[in-house]
A and B are shown apart, each in its own frame.
Chain A
Amino acid sequence: MSVAESPSLREQVTLIELVDRVLSTGVVLTGDLTLAVADVDLVYVGLRVLLASVATLESGQEGTTP
């Protein structure tokens, strides 16, 4: 099973797709509380770290039974 096909990595790709959409598109509400740009950057930093560790884990498991 290739890295791109493994279920948890596919879930990651799907999560990123969703996060990208709801966090960086859609109408911005200039209301009482709005997500600061800095907060969004922090999200991507956090996700990058997690994805890197998942990718490493997946490649290490190639050829083993899931």
Chain B
Amino acid sequence: MTATAAGTLWYAYAVVGPVDDDVRAAVGGELELIGSGEAAVVAGPVDESEFGEGALGARLNDRDWLEQAVQAHERIVQRLLAVATVVPLRFGSIHRDRQGVEQFLDSRRPEFAAALARLRGRVELGMKVWLEQEPEAPPSRGATGREYLERQRAERDRRAGATAALEDRLRAIHERLLAAADAGVLNRPQARELSGDPRRMLMNAAYLVPTEHDVFLAEVEHLRREHPQLALDVTGPWAPYNFTELPER
């Protein structure tokens, strides 16, 4: 094994296990399996000019670079997910050399082995709940001053009631999905400016489900029929990014 060439860093994508021929085939030629047996890191060489300290921060603000970099990262993770249990690492997990990667794995081997055992045969599904339509406010044509104020107060009360009712619905949706999954987490809904979607995002969740997850998807269908004013968008399957440390249910 040659020493790491100058200007080369090691980018770690995920921990996988157990290492078998399918995993080796998925890893292919340009990546390396560092470790063996129950857990190994999948890593590959990257250029210091792109991923080195300082350089990476600047690149992250280049949308085109970021898009191709996260997609390249995810392509590898998806390839691994097809053949093995995957504990995904965060984007930008970089070591100076191969030895650093080995040491990282060795120092956490028991935790990774436990995580791999917990996550075996499971994938992550994303769930976003959107409000399709803001509730309409009644028109206020030709109102007197007093009528206008009364209407404002009524509208405030209606909105407060609508918000509470909506929160109940979302809680119920999460409970139902949790019951159809192995685990679930609620993340912060994305701001409209960030998601770019003009609809309001009400819920941003992730669920850990079996690789074959017809039961979960059937539940989503039921919920869609029960809540026609909401849009339930499922994404994935993803590697279990949100479940590398399983939360208490």
Asked if B8 lies at the interface with its beta carbon under 8 angstroms from chain A, I say no
Q: How far is the CB of A14 from chain B (nearest CB, A)?
A: 8
- Whether the Cβ atoms of A43 and B196 lie closer than 8 Å is no
- Whether the Cβ atoms of A25 and B57 lie closer than 8 Å is no
CA distance A3 to B89 in the complex (A): 34
Q: A4-B197, A16-B190 are in contact. Are A26 and B9 (CB under 8 A)?
A: no
With a CB–CB cut-off of 8 A, which chain A residues contact B104? Answer: 29, 31
- Whether the Cβ atoms of A27 and B57 lie closer than 8 Å is no
Q: A31-B93, A46-B61 are in contact. Are A25 and B242 (CB under 8 A)?
A: yes
CA distance A22 to B220 in the complex (A): 25
With a CB–CB cut-off of 8 A, which chain B residues contact A44? Answer: 194
CA distance A5 to B101 in the complex (A): 43
Chain B residues touching A, range: 35 or more
- Whether the Cβ atoms of A22 and B241 lie closer than 8 Å is yes
- Whether the Cβ atoms of A27 and B95 lie closer than 8 Å is no
Chain A residues touching B, range: 35 or more
- Whether the Cβ atoms of B63 and A21 lie closer than 8 Å is no
Asked if B210 lies at the interface with its beta carbon under 8 angstroms from chain A, I say no
- Whether the Cβ atoms of B61 and A29 lie closer than 8 Å is no
| Top 10 A-B residue pairs of the complex, sorted by shortest distance between their CB atoms | A35-B92, A29-B93, A25-B241, A26-B90, A22-B91, A51-B196, A33-B94, A46-B61, A26-B88, A32-B96
Chain B residues close to A by CB (< 8 Å): 9, 12, 15, 51-53, 56-57, 60-61, 63, 66-67, 70-71, 73-74, 87-96, 100-101, 104, 126, 187, 190-191, 193-199, 235, 238, 241-242, 244
A-B contacts, 26 listed (Cβ < 8 Å)? A3-B198, A4-B197, A9-B197, A13-B197, A18-B71, A19-B70, A23-B70, A25-B242, A25-B244, A26-B89, A28-B89, A28-B93, A33-B9, A33-B95, A35-B56, A35-B90, A39-B56, A39-B57, A39-B92, A40-B60, A42-B57, A46-B60, A47-B63, A48-B191, A50-B63, A51-B193
